[in-house]
Structure 1
Amino acid sequence: MNQQFAGASALVTGGGSGIGRASALALAAEGALVTVAGRTAETLKETVRLIEASGGSARYVVADITDEAQVEKAVDAAVADIGRLDIALNNAGYDGEYQLTRNYSTDMLDRMIALNVRGVFLSMKHELRHMTAQGAGAIVNMSSGAGLIGVPGFSGYAATKAAEIGMTKSTAVEVAPHGIRVNAVCPGLVDTPMIAALDADQRTSLDAAHPLGRIARAEEIADAVVWLSSDKASFVTGIALPVDGGYTVP
């Protein structure tokens, strides 16, 4: 079977669950040696087990992306075997909970900024040290449809996801001369255990908010990550790609 990432190295932050795990599995299925990073060893180990059970290659590293030294450790681990970093998915983040702006928790906002803004910035900073030296690479930042439109009750989250898009676009222009592409994916709602726990009426309402009539599967977001990381997207950089069933269209 032809694997488009055979011999490539990939790093996935927030790789222990959800979109991060689905993306790590998808990248590994295409032949990449995947390093998954996050704060919880048990979930990272399970991602590695699933990849290896499918015939892929993976490792994990425990790292908090708000700590620059730990980010550097995770990036260096991804580079260790083959001396390069070809693909990076900066997926780790925090979405918080519904709160009106007038009541918004400052602590929750600070945590969002630390993970969604500082964490993505630090990840790109250290990924680009290697990618610039090698003159190639693809970075995908996991933003959100909330970074593209107004979402009442999630003003802090929307602000940080819009910041991710701004970092993506600015960095894409900066590193294009070095053969590096930087893009963002902006999912709508994705089917997660939290969503699965909702009652039937709540789930129906969420599905109906998407013109395609349902929310996404994590694997569908992973497909976008794979495409943006691949040579099939070789002339694509600096975009914020909605993968949201039309949620941000109206």
Structure 2
Amino acid sequence: MNLDYQLDGRVVIVTGGGSGMGRDASLALARAGARVVIGNRNAAAGLAVVEEIIAAGGQAAFRATDVANAADCEALVALAMQRFGRVDGAFNNAGLQRAFNDVHETPVEDFSEVIDINLKGVLYMMKYEIAAMLQSGGGAIVNNASIFGLKAMPHTAYYVAAKHGIVGATRAAALDYATRGIRINAVCPGPIKTPSFDRVTGGDEHMYDDGVPMRRIGRPEEVSAALLWLLSEQSSYVTGTSISVDGGMSAE
């Protein structure tokens, strides 16, 4: 079933748009008619997605972006404004996870890197996106949290803390802008087939099946489907919520 999300001409920023969920989201947004502005640390990967969008007849732009750096976040939003004149939507997706360790064995640098990218990166992006959206007449933001923004997982306290922080920041910011034309929500994916998932599992797609009520991992396009709805006017009365795309994990 093809839904018309009425994103034609809208300008949407995607961080971490060079691979995994961000890549799929960027391509899905372009197919829905959006003009996509991609930020990614790996420039070659980000540019490849832009080229794919343009080859298919879409519009896209890229800037190498480390979301842990506030100046990079500001510059990415500035690129959207300079190239397309407005910002209507955003998928703040960039994130990472390091090794599984108990707290007392977790390197201090892992705490800093994961909090800086996963949590502070979302806050930085929202700061500049919201300022641009207020100029543009409103918009919608979707932050990529995780199922572990809603529940815990052993040996990853630093990651769980960052993802819970994203959910909390989403809710609080949604209240701040509820009367100013900006909706802010989060998606909370469970295990999704991405390159980062493959690095953790060694490519075993069934490693975590027993922990998912639906007994399978998800696909990036299943996250993109929720994203498109949240960025569209079809979800016009939805703000401050976190949608689980997790095969039922959050229900347990």
Which TM-score bucket, shorter chain as reference? over 0.9
Matched, 1:77 2:79: yes
Question: Please, which moves more after superposition, 234-243 or 99-108?
Answer: 99-108
Query: Which sections of structure 1, spanning at least 5 residues, go unmatched?
Result: none
Change (3 A) 1:199 1:127: closer
Mapping for residues 2-21 of structure 1, pairs under 5 Å? 4-21=6-23
Equivalent in 232, 235, 238 of residue 237 of structure 2: 235
Using the TM superposition, give the Cα deviation of residue 204 of structure 1 relative to its aligned residue in structure 2, in angstroms: 3.0
Mapping for residues 74-153 of structure 1, pairs under 5 Å? 74-153=76-155
Using the TM superposition, give the Cα deviation of residue 55 of structure 1 relative to its aligned residue in structure 2, in angstroms: 2.4
Using the TM superposition, give the Cα deviation of residue 82 of structure 1 relative to its aligned residue in structure 2, in angstroms: 3.3
Retained in 1: the 8 A contact 2:206–2:217?
A: no
Q: What's the % identity of the aligned pairs?
A: 38
Deviations 1:132-184 (Å, cap 9, x if unpaired)?
22331000000000111110011110000000011100000001111100000
Q: TM-score under structure 2 normalisation?
A: 0.94
Retained in 1: the 8 A contact 2:21–2:194?
A: no
Using the TM superposition, give the Cα deviation of residue 194 of structure 1 relative to its aligned residue in structure 2, in angstroms: 4.7
Matched, 1:57 2:51: no
Deviations 1:79-98 (Å, cap 9, x if unpaired)?
22332100111111122121
Match in the other structure for 1:206: 208
Output the amino acid matched with 2:241. I
Retained in 2: the 8 A contact 1:131–1:180?
A: yes
Match in the other structure for 1:24: 26
Q: Distance in 2 between matches of 1:240 and 1:61?
A: 28
Using the TM superposition, give the Cα deviation of residue 195 of structure 1 relative to its aligned residue in structure 2, in angstroms: 4.0
Retained in 1: the 8 A contact 2:5–2:234?
A: no
Using the TM superposition, give the Cα deviation of residue 196 of structure 1 relative to its aligned residue in structure 2, in angstroms: 4.2
Change (3 A) 1:65 1:195: closer
Q: Distance in 2 between matches of 1:142 and 1:23?
A: 11
Output the amino acid matched with 2:187. V
Match in the other structure for 2:49: 47
Using the TM superposition, give the Cα deviation of residue 208 of structure 1 relative to its aligned residue in structure 2, in angstroms: 2.1
Task: Report the 3-state secondary structure (helix = DSSP H, G, I; strand = E; otherwise coil) of the residue aligned with 1:151.
Answer: coil
RMSD over aligned CA atoms reads 1.7
Match in the other structure for 1:183: 185
Query: Which sections of structure 2, spanning at least 5 residues, go unmatched?
Result: none
Equivalent in 67, 84, 88 of residue 69 of structure 2: 67
Task: Report the 3-state secondary structure (helix = DSSP H, G, I; strand = E; otherwise coil) of the residue aligned with 2:250.
Answer: coil
Task: Report the 3-state secondary structure (helix = DSSP H, G, I; strand = E; otherwise coil) of the residue aligned with 1:204.
Answer: coil
Task: Report the 3-state secondary structure (helix = DSSP H, G, I; strand = E; otherwise coil) of the residue aligned with 2:179.
Answer: helix
Change (3 A) 1:81 1:179: same
Match in the other structure for 2:164: 162
Retained in 2: the 8 A contact 1:16–1:40?
A: yes
Q: Distance in 2 between matches of 1:236 and 1:3?
A: 15
Deviations 1:213-233 (Å, cap 9, x if unpaired)?
111111111111111000111
Q: Distance in 2 between matches of 1:106 and 1:211?
A: 34
Question: Please, which moves more after superposition, 3-12 or 123-132?
Answer: 3-12
Q: Distance in 2 between matches of 1:3 and 1:113?
A: 33
Task: Report the 3-state secondary structure (helix = DSSP H, G, I; strand = E; otherwise coil) of the residue aligned with 2:134.
Answer: helix
